[in-house]
Amino acid sequence: MGPMQALQRLITFARRTPREQLESVRYHLEELDWYWKIHKPENQRTTYVISLFGGGRLYINELMLQNIGERTKYFRKHLIRLHPGPTSFIYSYHATIKYASRFQESPAVTSRILEAVRSRFADLIFIHRHPLDSLLSNWVWWRTYLRNTTHGAVISDRYKNTDELCEDLDQNFLEFKAFADGDPHFYDAIPGPRFLSFPEFVEETELYLQAATLSLRLEDFMVDPLKEFAKVLEVMSVDLDLSRLIIDPPKTKPYRYLAVKEKVPSFKNFIDELNGETKKRIERIGYQLQP
């Protein structure tokens, strides 16, 4: 940077309000990873809110932003940064432990998060739901994304009801199967790394349950959202009066895959023909394939 550029930046900075100046300084300190050195997080640790695609992370994000008070200023969504000590920051994104996957942080990054958790510098909150529900949601998201190259869509945005989803799945089952198998040709419209296959997705979920500080099932929030969110607050050392909180349950439909299985025979066959290890993993992470 030349002298004139430096002078122009100084003038621009001086014209800002005190609040804007403070935000600018804080931003650049974060960029250089200096913030952790000057901030005293007391009993707080860096929090990583992680899910695989279709796991319910955005719901947890909203609960945090609405209810954790001053800590929200340290919240960073769709971003993961690593620190060599505890901070008050909260990072929320997708990441994998074993398999490289498109649009998810790499196992190399996750391994450093897990190292920070083991060192008690950080906490990892992992949110997930029934993997077959995630599979259906992810197929809808990815096929929408690959067609319009902007953003995917959730099931409730794309279909009026489950019957419409079932009809689409039945008519395009080979495409669905290619996605579930991790076929790289599914992504030919936009070349690049593929997403996780379904067996890989289930394995990644099991690995997270073994490593996370706190694991949360989205379905449990549908039963008692306040009880489940209280677990988040406890891990984050956020002191709030729970009697004053009103926590809405997730809007997504639980165990949608059961209705789909009954209406789409090919989807039922897909479930029945899953390999034995994947079936065992689904049971180990707390779910059943049959009602």
The residue assigned the tokens 């000057």 is 38
Amino acid 37: pLDDT: 47
Whole-angstrom distance, CA of residue 217 vs CA of residue 8: 51
* Window from 27-31, 139-143, 236-240, 244-248 with minimum mean pLDDT: 27-31
Whole-angstrom distance, CA of residue 143 vs CA of residue 94: 19
Output phi, psi for 237, to 5 deg: 55, 40
The residue assigned the tokens 């891990």 is 235
Whole-angstrom distance, CA of residue 169 vs CA of residue 266: 9
* Long-range CB contacts for residues 38-42, cutoff 8 Å, separation at least 24: 39/87, 39/88, 41/86, 41/87, 41/88, 42/237
* Long-range CB contacts for residues 60-69, cutoff 8 Å, separation at least 24: 60/92, 60/125, 60/127, 60/216, 60/232, 61/92, 63/225, 63/229, 63/232, 63/247, 64/90, 64/92, 64/232, 67/229, 67/233, 67/240, 67/245, 67/247, 68/233, 68/236, 68/238, 68/240, 69/238, 69/240
Of 148, 126, 156, nearest to 52 by C-alpha is 126
Amino acid 190: pLDDT: 87
Per-residue pLDDT band at 243 (split at 50, 70, 90): confident
Whole-angstrom distance, CA of residue 112 vs CA of residue 118: 10
Mean pLDDT in residue range 53-66: 95
Model confidence pLDDT, tens digit, residues 249-264 = 999 989 999 999 999 9
pTM summary value: 0.85
Output phi, psi for 101, to 5 deg: -150, 140
Amino acid 31: pLDDT: 47
Per-residue pLDDT band at 242 (split at 50, 70, 90): confident
Q: 168 forms bridges with which residues in the sheet?
A: none
Amino acid 43: pLDDT: 73
Question: Domains (ranges, CATH) in the chain?
Answer: 37-130+198-244 (3.40.50.300), 131-197+253-284 (no CATH)
